[in-house]
Structures are given as structure tokens and as C-alpha cells.
Structure 1
Amino acid sequence: MFKLFENLTNWLWGLPLLITILATGVYLTVRSGFFQFRHFGYIVKNMFSKERRQEGGDDGKSLTPFQAISIAIGGTVGVSNMSGVATAIATGGPGALFWLWIAALLAMVIKMAEVTLAVYYREKQPNGEYQGGPTYYMQKGLGGEKKLPFWKLFAVLFGGCI
């Protein structure tokens, strides 16, 4: 049984996933009008802005954009991400860094699309907090607006992969 899962994992995390991620990145890049390239300067400029972006203004409780990005990166980047880059450079040479940058540029637009969908389909709760995320935009976007009967399959796959 373990061998079956090992073979499935090796197959999924191999060429099929690589092709899917790159194709999705290229598709979204073209479809968005090369968003991550056109707005790169604006993104970097605002990332280092000292202005606080919350309704309450500068009350000492809100975050600057740089603080928000630092928290997000700190929560997602782990030891394996850092060791993966080092391993890629050690085994593939300096050229591996170029392909890591290309993959990152394509992944930027995927993340932007994901966050945009999550914000668009989020719901305000009675206590004033917002709830949203992948299952919300799958349910409302694919199930509600597009009327696709198989949206639940995507939600189950998402939940299973987490």
C-alpha cells in the first residue's frame, strides 16, 4: 500500500504538476495582460510604503504593507523552501536560479488570481468578520454562477490535498 502512494506521489509531483503550474501561469499571465510585469514597480513601491492601510487609520494596531508581506511569507516559507533552492543550485548550477525566477514570476499571477477570487467571493459574517477562501470561490463561482455540477470534486480535492 505504501508503495502505491509513493508511486502516485512521484507521478503527481513530477511532470504533470510542473506542466499544469507552468501552463496555468502562462495562461493567466497572457489573460491578465502581463499583470505582474506591468505593475511590478507599483507593487514594490507600495510594499515598502509606511502608510497603514486599515479603516481605523494609524491606530498602532494596523499593519504596514511590508509587515503584512513579512507575516505572509513567514507563514508560508519553511526550511524545505530554503533547502530546496540550495539543492537546486547545488545540483543544477547557477542556471537553476534563472528557472526559479521564471517559475516565481509565473506563480505570482497564480497567487494574484487566487487572492482576487477569495476577496471577490468572501462573505461578511454577522459579527463583522469576513470569511472566504478556495472553497468559497469554488462553491459560489463554479457552483453558483457557472452551475457546474462537479465543483464539489474540486473542493474535496483541495481539502484532501491540504
Structure 2
Amino acid sequence: MTMDAAPPFTASITQQIAQQIRDIHPGPPLEAGWLDPRLGALLLLTLTLLLIAALAWLGRRLWRYWEWRQALAAPPASDRRLWLGQLHDRLRQEGLRRWPASRSLQGAEWLAWLDSQGPTDFQRWQHHWDEWLYGHRQPSHAQCQALHADYLRLGRQLLLGRLVHPRGTP
């Protein structure tokens, strides 16, 4: 008996085995989808969570800067000494909150230190600062506007940082 002529029962067994094997699916070929769908879903979930975290971080910084802007309104035409006192208090509060070591600084040292923290020029007012706060003089409206601009620049530097000046330029 030759191998070419297999007995009929062998052919029926081969057909039965082929029927059983047909239920086992090998999956898609590798070129059709190289990434496991579960891994793709995990990657998508991770990217979504990172995006949400980045947006929350950015939103918090923008919200804090908005609060910084709202904490001190633009200088009024009258009673500028009261406004300057509010500016001084706001700068002191933020300074103590961020840098407890700044507690001992006063006068020209305080203003110079503030200027070292951001792109401001508070130090140019050192000759008038004490007279405005504790004396009977009050700053002009133009001086108050310049102080307010420095206040806003300091807030942008502290709260937004590299979002505003990515290359470190003022």
C-alpha cells in the first residue's frame, strides 16, 4: 500500500480535525493592526489624563493671575495714598507668602528686592515711598499708573512665569 492512496478512514479523521481547528482564530495579520487595542486604549487614556492635568495647571495659573489683577484695581483719581497703601499691603502679603525671608526687608532694600524678583522698577520710587505711605504727600496719577504697571508685571512674572516670557526676556 502506497502513501498516496490513504485509507478512507484517514481522510474522514483529517476532515474532523480540520473542522475542530477552524474554530481557533489566529487573529489579524500583523500588518493590519500592529498595536493591541487594549494598549492603544491605555495610551489614549494616559494622554487624555496628561492633557487634563496640563489644562488644570494652566487654568490654575491663569486664575491666580486674574485674582492678582482683581485684588488691586487701577489707581483712582482721588485718594491715591489709600490706593498706595493697598498696593504696599498686597506686595507685602505676596512677599511673605512666597518668601518668608523677605519679612525683615524694609524701605529701599524691600523695593530693590522686589525688583530682583521680576521685571519691575519699584526702586525708582524709593525716595518718595515713605513720604507717600507715612507722610502727607500723595503720588500723582501718572506715578500711580506706573506703579500699577509694575504691580501687573510682577504678577505676570510670579504667576505666569515662562508662559509670558518663554526665553527669559522681560
Does the alignment reach a TM-score above 0.5? no
Bigger radius of gyration among the two:
2
Normalised by the size of structure 1, how large is the TM-score? 0.26
Q: TM-score by structure 2 length?
A: 0.25
Which has the higher relative contact order, 1 or 2, with Cα contacts under 8 A spaced 6 or more apart?
Answer: 2
